[in-house]
Structure 1
Amino acid sequence: MNVFNTVIQRALLLACLLLISNLSNAKSHPSYLSDKYCSDVVEQFVNTGMRSLDKYINEHFNPEYKGGIRNTIQFLEQRLDWLNECNSYLTDTTQSSVFHNKGDTQKIFNAIKELAKELQHVRSGVEYQDESGNNDPSPFIKRRYQTLAQLVDRHHTRMLMKKQFQ
């Protein structure tokens, strides 16, 4: 009987250790994260965030105004952080992504990073010479923005189509 109790105790101890190790490997997410919250973050970025970014890039971008560039970089980095946090949450809880799929999500994240990186180059003084030798980073910034805008627009179109057929 004593050997039997020892075997049971060891089995229970092993089961507890396995349970504890699995719990410690599980990712924990902040309590405010939910499917609805993440959907709202994506919707805000796709709608008002992209409109604001479009207006800045196409109407107000001026390489001489470093403060506006800094604010835009911070805007992009903050949104990327929020979207990454939601993507991690959705991947862990629903095996989905913030954008249409994992590939599209990665492409949009990369486009955000590339635009922020290009803006940082302008802010730090990298010169973009045009054909006449003048410093004009606008075409480069607009190209990076266009890549992002096309990817986000493709996602937005998919979401509208999905809503239409619900």
Structure 2
Amino acid sequence: MGKTMNSPSLAILRTLGLLSLLISSSLSNANTHPSYLTKEYCSSVVEQFVGAGMRSLDKYVNEHFNPEYKGGIRNTIRFLEQRLEWLNECNAYLVDTNNAYVFHSQDDTQNIFSAINELTRELQHVRSGVEYRDDAGNNNPAPFIKRRFATLAELVDRHHTRLLMKKQFQ
């Protein structure tokens, strides 16, 4: 018959096996991020959204929004969804690597993400034909869209003001 291992050797092998399983499972569960994600890249994504992105949204909502033009609404929805995806990706990266958030704090980040989602959802309703009756009985979604945008703009403006203050005292 074959030799049997003594119990200390068997215990060591079992411990090593268990240890290797734990290490390999924690490595496979570790968050991995694309190589292009850096703190500088994420700062530029936020800066673009806070600057040119918000100016573009402001111009669309306050000057060009028309519920009859579904293409413009579709493009704006895509713009918001894409920016939210980029911001979420950067936020996940920053949380995992720097214990930071794309917008000052976890609360600020979640509030801005929620405001983007609310504006997107309202635009989707308009695009799908939901009617927003005003006091005269006309379909007028513009005040609802403007209100959602105003909420987002206020939150983003607070973030922007914080950034400017931080730069001023550096």
Give the shorter-chain TM-score range: over 0.9
Does residue 156 (structure 1) correspond to residue 160 (structure 2)? The answer is: yes
The whole-number CA distance in structure 2 between the counterparts of 1:5 and 1:130 is 81
Are residues 1:51 and 2:55 paired? yes
The runs of 5 or more residues in structure 1 that have no matched partner are none
The structure with the largest alpha-carbon Rg is 2
Residues in 1 aligned to 2:25 and 2:108: alpha-carbon distance in whole angstroms = 34
After the TM superposition, which residues 38-117 of structure 1 pair with which residues of structure 2 at under 5 Å, given as runs? 38-117=42-121
Q: TM-score, normalised by structure 1?
A: 0.95
**Farther-moved stretch of structure 1 (24-33 vs 48-57):** 24-33
Match of 1:15 in 2: 19
Comparing 128-137 with 115-124, greater Cα deviation is found at 128-137
Question: What fraction of aligned residue pairs are identical, expressed as a percent?
Answer: 72
What is the 5 A alignment of 1:25-36? Answer: 25-36=29-40
What RMSD, in angstroms, separates the aligned Cα atoms of the two structures?
1.3
CA–CA distance in 2 between the matches of 1:150 and 1:85?
23
Deviation at 1:125, TM superposition (A): 0.9
Which secondary structure does the structure 1 equivalent of 2:117 belong to?
helix
Name the amino acid aligned to 1:87. Answer: N
Q: What is the number of residues matched between the two proteins?
A: 166
